[in-house]
């Protein structure tokens, strides 16, 4: 019994052990299943986490890439803007440099132009001064035929033709601009002298500017005025040169056999500064014989025209020509008021017993002229109008007793009175 129990017990124990084993196996399997499920869950969780991490990593990568792309775009844009700014700055800098270079070139060109203008103006002033200095050496020197033509005109037409011939030569003489003046002439046959009336240059013929200079600080060409004493001295020299030149050209044009002396009065037509009225003062008066004048070396650089006129030719010269202080002319006789007529040979038409009462007035005048000429004098019969009643002009060339006389008829028809 005891053994059957034991067996039963053993069986029961065996069953209990088997059951326990199964339960343990089941528990183990369950645990394994749970462990597998847990592992699978963990795997799934890990997979999900990994997937989530991958997704997050992809998203982060995408964000990073987007940020990087955006940063790259920004950087590119910044680089482009910087490049554009640099290009703009470079362009602006180059433009500024070009403007500055253009301004410098313009300023330099303006300076060069002003300096060129200064040189040109100063050269013009120097040329004007040189022309004034050469006034004597540039005088007209007419050919010998001019003298011959003047002498032929005198022999053919008388004193007026000679004066006109000389005036023609003097008027054609080439002067610097603004210096040529009118000229008039009369021939005094009794003295074989030409009387010249010369219009002198006005004070404005002397340049009022001494020089020109360029003032760089103001960018202008500035004239420097000549000092008043220099202007006055230059004008006095100009008057002296003009007078000597005119006398030289007169002797060069007039035949020596007809003209042995020249008297010249130099006038200037201007306005009185005190009254504003026109005036014509005589600034110089001189008389000179041909031989005396030919002794002057006009082309000698050391010749002083003012000293020549005052000391050698004893001319009356205004002490202050620029101030128009006048002098009294040496020669005031005016032959232009006498109008000469053609000569008539009355004696040739008379017999040895002339009836003076039967002569016409003009025949009587020419008879008197022929009588004077037979006495060794020179005479001319004038026209019958505007000669102050003068019917003849008679010249005695005797150096002691000679002189000029005009004759006119008195109240009686056939009596004449000489009035020196």
Asked whether residue 216 falls in the same domain as residue 359, the answer is no
- End of a domain among 289, 313, 337? 337
Determine which helix (DSSP H) or strand (DSSP E) holds 285, and give its type and residue range.
strand 282-289
Report the SS3 class of residue 307.
helix
Query: What ranges in 227-356 are assigned the alpha helix state H?
Result: 228-253, 290-294, 305-307
CA separation for the pair 418, 420 (Å, rounded): 6
Is residue 314 included in any domain, yes or no? Answer: yes
Asked whether residue 377 falls in the same domain as residue 245, the answer is no
Asked whether residue 271 falls in the same domain as residue 124, the answer is yes
Asked whether residue 269 falls in the same domain as residue 389, the answer is no
CA separation for the pair 165, 171 (Å, rounded): 10
pTM (2 d.p.): 0.60
Asked whether residue 247 falls in the same domain as residue 376, the answer is no
Q: Kindly give, in sequence order, each residue whose CB lies less than 8 Å from that of residue 388, ignoring residues fewer than 6 positions away.
A: 337
Boundaries of domain holding 394: 347-419
Is residue 136 included in any domain, yes or no? Answer: yes
CA separation for the pair 315, 326 (Å, rounded): 13
Report the SS3 class of residue 60.
helix
Q: CA 200 from chain center: how many Å?
A: 24
What pLDDT score was predicted for residue 43? 81
Asked whether residue 175 falls in the same domain as residue 310, the answer is yes
Cβ proximity of 203 and 322 under 8 Å? yes
CA separation for the pair 197, 396 (Å, rounded): 25
Report the SS3 class of residue 288.
strand
Is residue 50 included in any domain, yes or no? Answer: no
Asked whether residue 295 falls in the same domain as residue 403, the answer is no
Q: Within the chain, which residues score under 70 in pLDDT?
A: 1-5, 332-363, 365-366, 369-370, 373-374, 376, 378-420
- End of a domain among 281, 307, 337? 337
Is residue 290 included in any domain, yes or no? Answer: yes
- Number of domains the chain is built from: 2
Cβ proximity of 384 and 340 under 8 Å? no
Is residue 395 included in any domain, yes or no? Answer: yes
Asked whether residue 201 falls in the same domain as residue 304, the answer is yes
pLDDT digits (tens, 9 = 90+) for 375-403: 767 665 554 443 444 456 666 655 555 55
- Residue where the block lists tokens 């313009």: 106
What pLDDT score was predicted for residue 178? 81
Largest CA distance in the chain: 247
Helix and strand tally (H, E) in the chain? 7, 13
């Amino acid at each position: 019994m005891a053994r059957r129990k034991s067996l039963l017990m053993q069986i029961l124990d065996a069953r209990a052990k088997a059951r326990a084993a199964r339960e343990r196996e089941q528990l183990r399997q369950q645990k394994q299943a749970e462990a597998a499920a847990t592992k699978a869950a963990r795997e799934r969780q890990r997979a999900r986490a990994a997937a989530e991490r991958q997704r997050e990593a992809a998203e982060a990568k995408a964000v990073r890439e987007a940020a990087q792309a955006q940063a790259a775009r920004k950087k590119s844009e910044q680089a482009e803007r910087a490049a554009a700014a640099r290009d703009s700055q470079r362009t602006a800098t180059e433009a500024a440099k070009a403007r500055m270079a253009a301004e410098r070139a313009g300023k330099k060109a303006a300076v060069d132009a002003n300096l060129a203008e200064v040189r040109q103006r100063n050269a013009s002033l120097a040329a004007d001064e040189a022309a004034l200095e050469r006034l004597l050496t540039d005088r007209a020197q007419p050919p010998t035929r001019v003298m011959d033509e003047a002498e032929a005109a005198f022999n053919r037409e008388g004193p007026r033709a000679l004066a006109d011939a000389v005036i023609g030569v003097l008027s054609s003489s080439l002067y610097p601009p603004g210096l040529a003046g009118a000229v008039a002439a009369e021939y005094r046959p009794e003295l074989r002298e030409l009387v010249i009336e010369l219009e002198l240059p006005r004070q404005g013929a002397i340049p009022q500017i001494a020089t020109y200079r360029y003032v760089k600080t103001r960018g202008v060409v500035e004239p420097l005025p000549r000092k008043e004493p220099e202007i006055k001295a230059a004008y006095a020299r100009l008057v002296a040169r003009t007078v000597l030149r005119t006398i030289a050209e007169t002797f060069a044009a007039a035949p020596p056999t007809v003209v042995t002396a020249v008297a010249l009065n130099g006038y200037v037509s201007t306005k009185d500064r005190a009254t504003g009225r026109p005036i014509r003062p005589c600034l110089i008066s001189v008389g000179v014989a041909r031989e005396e004048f030919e002794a002057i070396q006009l082309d000698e650089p050391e010749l002083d025209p003012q000293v020549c006129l005052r000391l050698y030719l004893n001319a009356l010269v205004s002490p202050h020509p620029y101030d128009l202080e006048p002098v009294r002319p040496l020669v005031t006789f005016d032959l232009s008021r006498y109008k000469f007529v053609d000569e008539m040979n009355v004696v040739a038409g008379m017999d040895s017993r002339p009836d003076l009462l039967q002569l016409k007035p003009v025949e009587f005048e020419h008879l008197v002229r022929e009588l004077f000429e037979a006495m060794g004098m020179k005479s001319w019969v004038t026209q019958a109008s505007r000669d102050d009643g003068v019917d003849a002009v008679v010249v005695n060339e005797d150096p002691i007793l000679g002189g000029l006389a005009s004759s006119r008829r008195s109240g009686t028809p056939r009596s004449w009175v000489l009035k020196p």
